[in-house]
Amino acid sequence: MAILSATKLLFFFSFLFAWDVIIFSSTTAAAYSIGVNYGTVADNLPPPSQVANFLKTKTNIDRVKIFDTNPDILKAFANTGISVTVTVGNGDIPSLAKLPAAQSWIAKNILPHHPETIIRYIAVGNEIQATSDKALIAHLLPAMKALRSALDVANASSIKVTTPHSLGILSTSEPPSTGKFRKGYDKLIYAPILEFHKQTKSPFMVNPYPYFGFAPQTLNYALFKPNGGVFDAATGINYTNMFDAQLDAVYSAMKKLGYEDVEIVVGETGWPSAGDPGQPGVSLENALAFNGNLVKHVNSGKGTPLMPNRTFETYIFALFNENLKESVSERNFGLFKPDLTPVYDVGVLRNEQGMGPATAPPTATAPSGSASGSGKGKWCVAKSEASDAALQANIDYVCSTVVNCRPIQSGGACFNPNNVRSHASYAMNVYYQANGRHDFNCDFNHTGLITSTDPSHEACNYSSDQGEALKLEKSVAACSNVWQMIYYSASCMILIHISLLH
């Protein structure tokens, strides 16, 4: 029996080792995932079957949100593993407030596709409060409840019911700690909706758009670029991006009603890549900056200052440029063109390099004998004409992320020369290397310069391997936590086994 027990223990440890290898491999190879809004206000889009196959085979996009219940789209996503959020038309809401009508709607639009197509949410209307239609607002929650009951009766309880809200539901949002719902609507409309979400374990869906909230002086704040931040005196928090501030304003409003534990899902957010001539803030570079930084941010698990350590389910607007929308900017929110080529890549394409912005930061010419400007032989440094104030803002931004800034602190290998320009160049380069060496990662509000000349000096190493080392450090840290859990589990199993032998 002792020999048999030892054999079992050996098998057990072999299993643990193999499992640890699998976990480590999946941790280091993890890719960004994101949802998209699949709008169809266009006359040149590919058929849904082609779209579904493209998303499944060429991208890491694992969920889509549509603005109707198009049966061709729902059929196309069957057995793809990509979940779909469907939408009830605003005009259908009053009729669905009664259970029989809700059951008929579920039978017609959901059951023919469930469960082959993973229907994640039913979005009841879109930004109903923004319509100011009293009949729609009054029937919204009854329709949500009726659809919930109809799903339960049909044994489709895995599908959640929600409704998307614009940030117009807030009467105050700046600073975030003052966030509160519109007076008169807070307890009459939003508290009952939040109670529904709490009881049904469904999310409160909001559509935060920094694009619609920025001013010229807050553009970098809206784009997740280096900036001085916005200080909230009530909490002592300095917000460095508008997206976090908008979500925390919603959270503050929910907390004031006692529903801070309800999950938040971002139903829409995005930035147009083209607009009318002279339209402020609209460019390919800004769209890439916002959506690219957004994808990294929501996948980081960092959360927001008031909701730390959370990963928010997020749907970018939109999948395609839609040529029948009214304005130029509305027609250019897409990540992809109708021919499925990317307008730009925010990190969701599989096994492909990022497309980068239309205009990249300038590249300094390497002198004779220096490293080549391709591949890893690139570094990011501060422009000579950049002001100390701008460079200090870059340092503050970079060092507030996961980047290790100890080398430019007193006693560090890169502390000398002790000036803002030198310290900023080191910090900007580490950020550039750690985030994939994309040109846009060296923009820093036009204060960064890509060079093919290694700026390392004495003991200060600007090696292009810094980024890889930082990624590996984060992966190893994550893996070590998993290994500790496995180690303690194994120890407990051994102790139990020994006690049984005795």
Is the bond preceding residue 175 a cis peptide, omega within 30 degrees? yes
What is the number of H-type helices and E-type strands within the chain?
14, 16
Sign of CA dihedral 228, 230, 236, 237: negative
Q: How far is CA 153 from CA 45, 107, 109, 398, 413, in A?
A: 37, 11, 15, 52, 67
Active-site annotation holds for 473: no
Q: What is the distance, to the nearest Å, from the Cα of residue 489 to the centroid of all Cα atoms in its chain? A: 33
Q: Is-catalytic flag, 268?
A: yes
Measured distance CA(191)–CA(193) in Å, rounded: 5
Question: How many Cα atoms occupy the beta-carbon half-sphere of 249 within 13 Å?
Answer: 29
The whole-angstrom separation of Cα 286 and Cα 211 is 10
Q: Where are the beta strands (DSSP E) in 327-456?
A: 363-364, 379-382, 448-451
Rounded distance between C-alpha atoms, residue 255 and residue 253, angstroms: 5
Strand 314-316 and strand 363-364: the pairing is: unpaired
The pair of three-digit structure tokens given for residue 452, joined into one six-digit string: 């093919």
Write the CB contacts of 481 (distance below 8 Å, at least 6 apart in sequence). Answer: none
> How many other CB atoms are found less than 10 A from the CB of residue 155?
10
Q: How far apart (Å, rounded) are the C-alpha atoms in residues 389 and 261?
A: 40
Pairwise CA distance, residues 483 & 489, whole Å: 10
CB atoms within 10 A of CB 260: 15
Instruction: Name the active-site residue from 127, 285, 313, 322.
Output: 127
Query: Which uninterrupted H or E stretch holds 92?
Result: none
Local structure of 266: helix, strand or coil: strand
For residue 318, say if its preceding peptide bond is cis, omega within 30 degrees of 0: yes
Active-site option among 174, 268, 313, 330: 268
C-alpha distances in Å from residue 68, one per residue of 14, 71, 92, 378: 50, 9, 11, 47
Q: Which of 155, 156, 184 is nearest to 171 (CA)?
A: 184
- Catalytic residue list: 127, 268
